[in-house]
Amino acid sequence: MSSATSNKPSWTPGDEPSQKDLNLLNQRVIQFTDTEDTTLDVWLQLENADLDEEAAKFLNAGLLFEHYLSQLPNDPAQRSSEQVEQLETYRRDFETALDEGRSALASAMSRLCVWSIHKADQDQSRSHRHPSYHPYRMVLPSLPCLHNRRRW
């Protein structure tokens, strides 16, 4: 097994791990889980917004970062300079993809808000419904641009 993927704990199964070993393991588990949560959350948002290319790019960056991290020793002091450099490359790629993904989502939501407001204005001018009726508030309640509009 290569040094890049060897992940031997500093304790053996018959021994009790030290508090330091447990803390290092917990820190890495938390970092892995936080990365995984962010990756899956943003990836799903991108997929739901039909931003398939951005979603695939972001998912790839997130998976590379989190799974490479899982292969490293728990103690950062035991990682080689090549491992640290590669981890930082994956971290930067992940953060860049995260920024790009969030930007794409913001742009898509902005376009959706503009379209929804325009459509709502068209529907209102053609409709003889009650003045408080607004179909997009029922369908898209999470869009802040619709909640800030005047009451119909």
In a domain, 13, yes or no: no
In a domain, 12, yes or no: no
Place of tokens 């970092």: 31
Least confident of 61-70, 72-81, 111-120, 138-147: 138-147
What is the tally of structural domains in the chain?
1
In a domain, 8, yes or no: no
Mean pLDDT of 112-130: 52
**Comparison of pLDDT for 150 and 97, the residue scoring more:** 97
Which tokens hold the place of 129?
A: 């419904």
In a domain, 92, yes or no: yes
Q: Which domain holds residue 98?
A: 19-147
Pair 79, 137: CB distance under 8 Å: no
In a domain, 119, yes or no: yes
DSSP for residue 17: P
Instruction: Share the mean pLDDT of the chain.
Output: 77
Pair 42, 102: CB distance under 8 Å: yes
Mean pLDDT of 127-136: 48
Sign of CA dihedral 55, 30, 8, 79: positive
Which tokens hold the place of 108?
A: 């898509």
Which tokens hold the place of 25?
A: 């393991």
Q: What's the pLDDT band for 110 if we cut at 50, 70, 90? A: confident
44: enclosing H helix or E strand: helix 19-48
User: What pLDDT is recorded for position 6?
Assistant: 53
User: What pLDDT is recorded for position 57?
Assistant: 95
In a domain, 113, yes or no: yes
In a domain, 125, yes or no: yes
In a domain, 3, yes or no: no
User: What pLDDT is recorded for position 148?
Assistant: 44
Q: Whose CA is closest to 37, among 5, 68, 65?
A: 65
What is the pTM (predicted TM-score) of this model?
0.63
